Structure 1
């Protein structure tokens, strides 16, 4: 399942950077350039944390002596839920974790041979169809 990681300003109201991962099952976070998410902060370790996806669930594992925090509590490892705030070190950067649920969008008539997948909530003007469990739009 695809996920989004959003580097947020300490107030939590402003997004500074976003990463989307659709096919990865392991995502590494840290200062080293070999990580998927590279953060240049003195409190972030070279290899600070790892996210591990299995099925529809994601787990975070702390790899740093500086610690990894979920919703302000230190954790060695934990299951992630959408909206969870990950903080690297007691005063480090904060990242919002989100599961991205793809919904099928029926294409307009002129492109009927194409299947379009959109991430839930990204396009305005779409309505949820609870019966079909899809997102629909008017053409």
Structure 2
């Protein structure tokens, strides 16, 4: 099992989560034929794949704006439980958990790529101009 959790852009708190029980490849991108669809200007139509290999999960970047781990761009990398990846330098952040569901996130059923009957609103994530914490438009806490 592998779980993906979309994190808030400035506070790193869970926004949405997807859990995959048996998939060997998980596709993430802007196009609706991905398992996880993210609408963001910095996310490519087919941004990355998570591939379950005998030696463990691997990330393969296909995105024009890159995929980042700890601020460094990667072409491919081994997945480490709890790692956070970023789609593009300023795009969505996703925490990856292996073998367990993320207990802090609300769960969303993953979609089947290309599945027309699975197009529910909660399965698509829109990322548009996240407010910065210091921004005057940002609500005070």
Same fold (TM over 0.5): yes
TM-fit CA distance, 1:100: 1.6
Q: How does 1:20-31 map to 2 (within 5 A)?
A: 20-31=19-30
Unaligned segments of structure 2, at least 5 residues: 104-141
Stretch deviating more after TM superposition (74-83 or 55-64): 55-64
Paired positions, count: 103
Q: What is the SS of the residue equivalent to 1:39?
A: strand
2:96 is equivalent to residue 60 of structure 1 = no
Q: Answer 1 or 2: which has greater strand percent.
A: 1
TM-fit CA distance, 1:54: 1.6
Q: Deviations over 1:79-108 (max 9, x none)?
A: 01011101000100000000025xxxxxxx
Q: What is the SS of the residue equivalent to 2:39?
A: coil
Query: Paired residue for 1:14?
Result: 13
2:69 is equivalent to residue 100 of structure 1 = no
Q: Deviations over 1:35-87 (max 9, x none)?
A: 00100111100000000012361000000121000121100000010111010
Query: Paired residue for 1:4?
Result: 3
- Higher RCO, Cα 8 Å, sep 6+: 2
Q: Tell me how far apart the structure 1 counterparts of residues 87 and 28 of structure 2 sit (CA, whole Å).
A: 9
2:93 is equivalent to residue 89 of structure 1 = no
Q: What is the SS of the residue equivalent to 1:32?
A: coil
Q: Tell me how far apart the structure 2 counterparts of residues 69 and 23 of structure 1 sit (CA, whole Å).
A: 25
Q: Tell me how far apart the structure 2 counterparts of residues 6 and 35 of structure 1 sit (CA, whole Å).
A: 16
Q: TM-score by structure 2 length?
A: 0.68
Q: 1:3 to 1:56 in 2, by over 3 A?
A: farther
2:57 is equivalent to residue 41 of structure 1 = no
Q: Tell me how far apart the structure 2 counterparts of residues 64 and 18 of structure 1 sit (CA, whole Å).
A: 21
Unaligned segments of structure 1, at least 5 residues: 102-118, 123-139
Q: What is the SS of the residue equivalent to 1:69?
A: strand
